[in-house]
Amino acid sequence: MQNYWDVDAISDRFDTHKPLQQIHPDAAVNIFVGWPVFLEQIRYQCGYLGKKKCSVLDFGCGAGDFCENLHRLGHKVIGMDSSKPSLDIAAKNTSKEIEYCLKSHVDSDECSMYNNKMDVVTSIHGLDWVENVEEVIVQLAKMLVDNGLLIFSVFPKKHVIDSLRIKDLFEDFDSAENPTKGVCNFGGIKIPVYVRDPSYYDSLFSKLNFDKVLEFYPPYPKVFFDKYKWTGSREPEMVILGYRKKKKS
């Protein structure tokens, strides 16, 4: 079974720097379902902090197209990923003003330079593949300023259960009724995946002194089905969770 950090082989599958009709549906879901919610929440966060623009770190940024969208809106953006091929695609296709970091482990000493610097940390399906997710979230939390926002999407359990039923993408799970660990089969490339309920994250962020501000299951928009022949589950493909770091007393 592949290690989470060895995901170079699927970099092309999630390259969104292509004509829309050539983008793989697995990547297009992020564009049509996830990005609008993330961008709106970042807009809210700027208002909450009283800023016109925010400093944003995108964990698991992949090919960097979401970073480019943030940059075009005027935000200061850092993209972090463990796949060099993906970051090569990002560097080739996005603004030179975006900073990209190749990091195999977010808890490395080099990452401490971002501590207490970020208004927002995002991760769009970047945590599903992380076994030691608590350690990673602790480090991402350190990067946020007081009142900073950590917003991320993960696979909802209902989506995984339904996908297992129709034999799409997910396989080799520990349970069909309460799946927590298995693999995603991306055209023969199997990547370990971990499924956690929102209650798990609620408990973790409560211990880290964060307030929960969002739990949303965005539906597939009609335009997505109009453009792509989606054969996967119709259950919401992501739950988007947001937590705000409490100001130190």
- Cα separation values, 40 from 30, 52, 104, 133, 236, Å: 14, 14, 29, 25, 19
Interval 64-74: pLDDT, tens:
999 999 999 99
Residue type for position 133: V
pLDDT tens column, 127-178: 999 999 999 999 999 999 999 999 999 999 999 999 999 999 999 999 999 9
Task: Please work out, in degrees rounded to the nearest 5, the angle formed at the alpha carbon of residue 249 by the alpha carbons of 240 and 202.
Answer: 25
Report pLDDT for 1: 31
- Are the C-beta atoms of residues 118 and 143 closer than 8 Å to each other? yes
User: Does the pLDDT value for residue 87 go beyond 70?
Assistant: yes
Please check whether the domain covering 8-16+25-156+196-245 is classified as CATH 3.40.50.300: no
Report the share of the chain in percent with pLDDT over 90: 76
Domain boundaries, the chain: 8-16+25-156+196-245
Distance of CA 5 to the CA centre of its chain: 15
Which tens digits make up the pLDDT trace of 172-208? 999 999 999 999 999 888 999 999 999 999 999 999 9
